[in-house]
Amino acid sequence: MATDAKKPIKLPRTAKGKKPVYFDPVTDKLLSMIMTLMGELSVVRDRLDTVERLAEKAKVFKIDDIENYEIPDEVNAVRMERRAAYIARVLKTVQDELDSLQQDDGADGAAKK
């Protein structure tokens, strides 16, 4: 049993017992990941909502100011660049396959499957 007060406590995170297979092990994991991401997006949205309400309460800005915000061109350019990088990052696994398909020698193992 852990007695070192400085060592971070790690409680068990996985339930003991056989886990059923619903679709197949890979799809089951993907679904579980999507649900976790749904949860985390909801957490971030709630946190942002708290920030907006606190800002309005502290008279930093009004929540309506967000709706009425006109995006300057330079801000739009920064956002477009960030969105493009974000999309590319998420779709990297697709891009990787495309890249290997486009290689002349076709030596990539994944492409030969």
Partner 1 sequence: MLQQIMHEMFPTPNHDEEARQEFVNDFRMHLATKVCPGSVPAYFKRVMPAFVKEHGREPKDRHEIRRAMTRDPFYQMWSAMQRSSQEMVWDSVIDSVERQLPDLIAKAAVLNGKGSLTLDPELEIPKYHTAFDIHLQPGAYHTDVVQNDLAAGAVYDRGSFIYAMGGLGEHNDGMGRITRNFFRTRFPGRKLERVLDLGCTIGGSVCFWSQQEPETEFHAIDVGAPCLRYGHARARAIGAGIHFSQQNAEALNFPDASFDLVMSHIVLHETSRTALQNIFNECYRVLKPGGVMLHLDLQQRWGQSPLDAFLGEWEIYNNNEHFYGQLKEIDCGEVAVNAGFDKAKFGIHHVSTTWQDDQTPYGESSFQLPIYLAEK
- Cβ closer to partner 1: 10 or 89? 10
Please give the size of the binding site for partner 1, defined by CB under 8 A: 31
The gap from C-alpha 59 to its chain's centroid, in whole angstroms, comes to 32
9 near partner 1, judged by CB under 8 A: yes
Q: Please give the full DSSP string across 51-82, using - where no structure is assigned.
A: HHHHHHHTTS--HHHHHTPPPPHHHHHHHHHH
In whole angstroms, the minimum distance from the beta carbon of 66 to partner 1 comes to 20
CA distance 80 to 82: 5
Residues at the site binding partner 1, with contacts judged by CB under 8 A = 1-3, 5, 9-20, 22-23, 28, 31-32, 35-36, 38-40, 42-43, 46-47, 50
